[in-house]
Structures are given as structure tokens and as C-alpha cells.
Amino acid sequence: MRRRLLASTLAAVAVAVVLLGVPLGVVLRGVLEGQALQATTREAEQIRTLLAREAQSPGEAAALTELGALATGARVTLVD
């Protein structure tokens, strides 16, 4: 009797963890993706603002971007 009670309790707990954990994981993934997108957008805006302030021509903006990419090891693509 005691074993059956323990087994059914453990089964109920396992089902509850799965039923609550999976949706939580899906929501958490969406939140993390949104935060990463916001951070990337914020960095792109900062780069665009810096280039608009510092560059006198599109060619100079490309050169500044290239220097920044070389210094950080990042890859930057300019889109006009």
C-alpha cells in the first residue's frame, strides 16, 4: 500500500513538473530572444549615431565601421 501511494505521488509530481516546466521554458526562450534582439538593435543604433556624427562621407563611414570591426573582431555590413 505504501509503495503504491509513493509511486502515484511521484508520478503526479513528475506530470506536474512536465506540464508546468515546458510552457515556462517556451516563455523564457521568447523573453531571452527578445532581450538579445533589443541589445543588438540598441548597439546598431549606437553605431549608426556615431557614424552619422563622425563621418563626412559614406566612404568615411565605411572606413570607420571597418576599423571598429577589425578592433573588436566583429563583422559589420553597411546597408545604404
pTM above 0.85, yes or no: no
pLDDT tens digits, 19-68: 999 999 999 999 999 999 999 888 888 877 776 666 666 677 666 666 66
Is the model more confident about 31 or about 71? 31
CA dihedral (4, 5, 7, 8) in degrees, to 10, reads 110
Q: Say what the pLDDT of residue 44 is.
A: 81
Could you give the CA distance from residue 53 to residue 74 in angstroms, rounded to a whole number?
A: 21
Mean pLDDT of the 65-75 span: 60
pLDDT score of 79: 64
- Residues listed for the chain: 80
